[in-house]
A and B are shown apart, each in its own frame.
Chain A
């Protein structure tokens, strides 16, 4: 019944999208009616999927669509329910914001955007519900195509078309890997339903091949290093609600896919499979965080931060598989929980931040951090709500980012139970990398928030910046509320996610503490975390301090000009810049970056400082790859002679060979 409801909601999204075409140029119809309606459907989807998650049951449905002999199979189980909750809840906030965000005259017509946007939502929903390879891949490609069109909304700019092409290319490389993975998974049975794949018995070699192909395919979509190159290009190119949706929700469908293939379709994982996502995930964390720290474009910065967070999720997937394969289901459940929790968290906080940048972009027309600053006074709503997301993604308690990273670090500490000595030794180093990533993420977020919202405006035009509209405010408020609630009530969230861990690794994380407010997921270890207590204590300390300060200094307040180091007048140009703030990181981790720097000469009358930071991966991996493909293509192109006689000769030779073969057989 719930599954039918979910399908109806997906159809509803499609219908809303088509309705946008009725009056494609009307901002009122798309923005004020259709997008909020889509948000309502999103919330309804979250409620339905939440009910299914709490029920913990599995529903199946076969639709009379699709290939002959392979109708579309749909299935609603705890894993897909969990991700549907994420899709519905996060997209609800984003859709509300989008309703106020899209305006006429910015790239494609609003009605067209409405269609692409809602098809994107519906296809993501179908990806999560699909129970056979055919409908999964159709939904997967629909998702890639609709998001491609959304990314290239402003297709008149060559730079954006280029970013869109890169995205499409990577999406297709990934889709080819997935196609091959499903081809291996069916194990020669010729049946492409997921049920048949679960039943298929693969030899260990083929199973590992299928998993690696799936990891590559989903990794390309998720932005796993070194397949992440499209992310920092596509996210800044897309309109902000689209970036939010892609980063917050679409990347998670890739995590869903890896979990589905690795833990469900392949059955019981072999422990060393998990080492691949674990290693790549750790690399991705550090890589993403480092590059985020040196960016000067606020949306690129967030894109690299998404890369980092996807690394955290894949690290969790890797740990889950290592533990599950080593016969430690409870710890595997803990790692899986951390993964799911982090996906949920990230969908809220990253969407919030991307929407915040969208509001800033609309208000100022500026993406470059070097030309922003001091927006807190002009845009208090955006600033305060974004602050919540910033703190959450920096992993500060009592917000949600802390909970999932804490759970992940906890699960790292169980490696001493693993029966493999070397892995035992190496995995704790992974915990150190996660911690480094978390610290760098904090650094990045200080830079992000401090340079945009704090200090003084770096440009005169920023004085005219205005706060966002009410629909946008509601959207931001919902996402910020999500960050707070997910942080304050981890126990309830963990309880709801128990059905997923029971389904995938056959265990639930036991609750060692008897109190509703105290999270103690590790039996036998004295670790616990009470976010509500933490918040109460923090608030109490702050209040006490304020009171004491007020009471003590009440009569002795002295007003004087701000201390200005003797310069006379502090100007906005004396603030730390984005480049300056990132400089220590750039310096320490120099080998990671490819830096192109232009320094002014001492006697220069008009000094100019320019720095461009590129990824070495382009030169090391992608450019040789492109050259190899071009060489190969040129070799093949020799077949094309241009002479009709030669073409006829090809046909003639083919005919003779085929006749000879027919004669021989």
Chain B
């Protein structure tokens, strides 16, 4: 049993928390709670980034942490809450796959993700062994959430959570992406959410509901 430093242990705890939050999101049907969980995930991510910044002394990670805090903990959740209030979607309907089934599939995915991360963690010179596996799990679990939900709002939260996973993966594997890339991704997410917000209003206006099965009518008929 190798001895981990305090910092490393804290970082692993953060990673575990992220994974736990992902599962919580997967099982949550209240959209408001989903957004809150997303905000908490952002907060954990901020903490992990700060921790890493403190340990490695990389200056740009502080900036990155600040960006995460501002964007993922404050601005996006606020935007989403506002959207929820204005659209009046507080609950998602029954997901396509029931909660326990989704959780089981999620477990399999986590195992797969860890198996996948094995060769990468062996190569990684950093001390964040388990973090890569968790990052991949977070991405895949978020993807799973997008697949199983019916409401557009939950899918947006899934999409954002996926970005969290990517961010965490990049941070733990190579101490963060270059600043330019990070800024670019942050901007993309922001614009993506704004565009999707506009879409929500359009979809609701057209179908008087945000349920995505209405969009099936858009396919080309034979």
The reply to whether B116 and A659 contact each other, CB–CB distance below 8 Å, is yes
The reply to whether A663 and B143 contact each other, CB–CB distance below 8 Å, is no
Which chain A residues lie closer than 8 Å to B116 at the CB level? 659-660, 662-663
Stretch at the interface among B6-14, B66-74, B181-189, B212-220: B212-220
Q: Does B96 contact A (CB under 8 A)?
A: yes
Stretch at the interface among B29-37, B85-93, B144-152, B164-172: B144-152
Which chain A residues lie closer than 8 Å to B155 at the CB level? 644
Which chain A residues lie closer than 8 Å to B96 at the CB level? 645
Q: Does A637 contact B (CB under 8 A)?
A: yes
CA A649 to CA B150, docked complex, whole Å: 13
Known: A642-B216, A663-B116, A663-B119. 13 other contacts (CB 8 A): A634-B222, A642-B215, A642-B218, A643-B215, A644-B212, A645-B147, A645-B148, A648-B146, A652-B144, A652-B147, A655-B143, A659-B136, A660-B112
CA A652 to CA B216, docked complex, whole Å: 19
Interface string of A431-453 (1 = CB under 8 A from B): 00000000000000000000000
The reply to whether A649 and B219 contact each other, CB–CB distance below 8 Å, is no
Instruction: Decide if the interface of chain A is mainly helix, strand, loop or mixed.
Output: helix
Which chain A residues lie closer than 8 Å to B112 at the CB level? 656, 659-660
CA A660 to CA B140, docked complex, whole Å: 13
Q: Which of A637, A656, A662 contacts B222 (CB 8 A)?
A: A637
Interface string of B186-222 (1 = CB under 8 A from A): 0000000000000000000000000011011111101
Q: Which of A641, A655, A660 contacts B216 (CB 8 A)?
A: A641
**Size bin of chain B's contact surface:** 20 to 34
Closest to B215 in A: A644
Q: Does A640 contact B (CB under 8 A)?
A: yes
Near B by CB (< 8 A), chain A positions 607-637 give 634, 637
CA A634 to CA B222, docked complex, whole Å: 8
Closest to A645 in B: B147
The reply to whether B147 and A648 contact each other, CB–CB distance below 8 Å, is yes
Considering residues A641, A659, A662, which has the most beta carbons from chain B within 10 angstroms of its beta carbon?
A659
Q: Does B115 contact A (CB under 8 A)?
A: yes
The 4 closest A-B pairs by CB, nearest first: A642-B219, A642-B216, A648-B147, A652-B143
**Given A637-B222, A663-B119, is A645 in contact with B212 using a C-beta cutoff of 8 Å?**
yes
Give the Cβ gap from A642 to chain B, nearest Cβ, in Å: 3
Closest to B147 in A: A648
CA A660 to CA B150, docked complex, whole Å: 28
Which chain A residues lie closer than 8 Å to B218 at the CB level? 642
Give the Cβ gap from B22 to chain A, nearest Cβ, in Å: 15
Give the Cβ gap from B108 to chain A, nearest Cβ, in Å: 10
Which chain A residues lie closer than 8 Å to B119 at the CB level? 663
CA A641 to CA B216, docked complex, whole Å: 7
- Jot down 28 A-B pairs with beta carbons below 8 A, ordered by A: A634-B222, A637-B222, A640-B219, A641-B219, A642-B215, A642-B217, A642-B218, A643-B212, A643-B215, A643-B216, A644-B155, A644-B212, A644-B215, A645-B147, A645-B148, A645-B149, A645-B150, A648-B143, A648-B146, A649-B147, A652-B140, A652-B144, A655-B143, A656-B140, A659-B136, A662-B116, A663-B115, A663-B119
Which chain A residues lie closer than 8 Å to B213 at the CB level? 643
Give the Cβ gap from B116 to chain A, nearest Cβ, in Å: 5
Give the Cβ gap from A192 to chain B, nearest Cβ, in Å: 38
Which chain A residues lie closer than 8 Å to B212 at the CB level? 643-645
Closest to B150 in A: A645
Interface residues of A (CB under 8 A from B): 634, 637, 640-645, 648-649, 651-652, 655-656, 659-660, 662-663
Closest to A662 in B: B116
Which chain A residues lie closer than 8 Å to B143 at the CB level? 648, 651-652, 655
Closest to B219 in A: A642
Which chain B residues lie closer than 8 Å to A634 at the CB level? 222
Q: Which of B140, B148, B220 contacts A640 (CB 8 A)?
A: B220
CA A484 to CA B112, docked complex, whole Å: 82
Interface string of B121-165 (1 = CB under 8 A from A): 000000000000000100010011011111000010000000000
CA A8 to CA B64, docked complex, whole Å: 60
CA A652 to CA B143, docked complex, whole Å: 7
Closest to A651 in B: B143
CA A569 to CA B116, docked complex, whole Å: 99
Give the Cβ gap from A521 to chain B, nearest Cβ, in Å: 62
Interface string of B86-114 (1 = CB under 8 A from A): 00000000001000000000000000100
CA A643 to CA B215, docked complex, whole Å: 7
Which chain A residues lie closer than 8 Å to B217 at the CB level? 642
CA A442 to CA B4, docked complex, whole Å: 99
Which chain B residues lie closer than 8 Å to A660 at the CB level? 112, 116
Give the Cβ gap from B207 to chain A, nearest Cβ, in Å: 13
Which chain A residues lie closer than 8 Å to B148 at the CB level? 645
Which chain B residues lie closer than 8 Å to A659 at the CB level? 112, 116, 136
Give the Cβ gap from A630 to chain B, nearest Cβ, in Å: 10
CA A317 to CA B155, docked complex, whole Å: 64
CA A644 to CA B222, docked complex, whole Å: 19
Give the Cβ gap from B204 to chain A, nearest Cβ, in Å: 16
CA A643 to CA B214, docked complex, whole Å: 9
Which chain A residues lie closer than 8 Å to B140 at the CB level? 652, 655-656
CA A644 to CA B159, docked complex, whole Å: 13
Near A by CB (< 8 A), chain B positions 25-74 give none
Give the Cβ gap from B20 to chain A, nearest Cβ, in Å: 22
Give the Cβ gap from A655 to chain B, nearest Cβ, in Å: 7
CA A145 to CA B166, docked complex, whole Å: 47
Which chain B residues lie closer than 8 Å to A641 at the CB level? 216, 219
Give the Cβ gap from B37 to chain A, nearest Cβ, in Å: 20
Give the Cβ gap from A639 to chain B, nearest Cβ, in Å: 11
Closest to A637 in B: B222
CA A637 to CA B119, docked complex, whole Å: 39
CA A637 to CA B144, docked complex, whole Å: 25
CA A656 to CA B139, docked complex, whole Å: 11
Which chain A residues lie closer than 8 Å to B219 at the CB level? 640-642
CA A648 to CA B150, docked complex, whole Å: 12
Give the Cβ gap from A254 to chain B, nearest Cβ, in Å: 37
Give the Cβ gap from B50 to chain A, nearest Cβ, in Å: 30
Give the Cβ gap from A413 to chain B, nearest Cβ, in Å: 59
CA A598 to CA B148, docked complex, whole Å: 64
Which chain B residues lie closer than 8 Å to A663 at the CB level? 115-116, 119
CA A172 to CA B67, docked complex, whole Å: 53
